Amino acid sequence: MTNDGILLVYKEKGLTSFDLVNRIKRGLKLDKIGHTGTLDPNAEGLMLVLFNQTTKANQFLVHDTKEYIASLRLGLKTDTKDIWGEILEEADYTMPNQKEIKAVFEKFLGLQAQEVPMVSAVRVNGKRLHEYHREGIEVTQPIREIEILELELLKVDKDIKFRVVCGSGTYIRTLCEDIAAEFNTIGVMSDLVRTKVGSFSIKDAVKLDQVIAGNYKLLELKDVLPYKKVQATSVIDIKNGKILALEYDSPFITVMDQDEVLAVYGWNEKKDAYTSVRGLW
């Protein structure tokens, strides 16, 4: 079995993303391993794990939209914006009805600014926010532009359960807190499952024990990269980073040698041609 490719893995609750990929690396005796996006220990769902040579393509696989099934619990505020954090405040509230919830959801569709939570891995002055949080140091949290593409109410009982499709970089725990504010109360994320990354679905993912047992199938890089494929006329030229004087078709292209991926090239306006972004051989 070849060990170059992309694996769809179902990360279970209680396992960090770091532990997951390292257990796979040790269990399968891989030289290199990577992934395209972390999930918190208390979250579960789909992760794209990259084996060996495929790790070189990481930067081209992290900008997809993502789908989550999440739950919001009103009347609670914690230091991590989820139910697993330290409780900072509790408040009485009236559970909104479905019509009210759907009306608020409409307000969150589209582009908007979102504050990065303190428990994130985003760096400020060279240090990750979660490190500041752990040390109790206050720091200004960055504001990012995010996009919510779909927001669907699924169920209302003790919590508000919903499905969200969003752009990369969206923090669902912050979204939950912001939605709660629209109901004039406080709130936290109480559950999170990542169900899709781009066109890849959790239904095709395998769990850790299946991976270690060898019950998995890798996706080939050529089938995962989202760019138009162009056949190389000279493999040596591509490996030497030769500029490709092709007519502009898209910001990036995948340069192939038959069925093998050689590199990703990007459009360079100054040179009016495609130049090498990353060799992937």
Q: Which residues are catalytic?
A: 40
Separation CA 11–CA 202 (nearest Å): 10
Separation CA 261–CA 254 (nearest Å): 7
3-state secondary structure 197-266: ECCEEHHHCEEHHHHHCCCCCCECHHHHCCCEEEECCCHHHHHCCCCECCCCCCCEEEEEECCEEEEEEE
Comparing CA positions, the residue from 124, 117, 140, 107 lying closest to residue 188 is 117
Separation CA 190–CA 170 (nearest Å): 17
Tokens (6 digits) for 62: 């992290």
Separation CA 210–CA 9 (nearest Å): 10
Separation CA 122–CA 128 (nearest Å): 5
Comparing CA positions, the residue from 86, 87, 82, 7 lying closest to residue 42 is 82
Side chain identity at 260, as an amino acid letter?
E
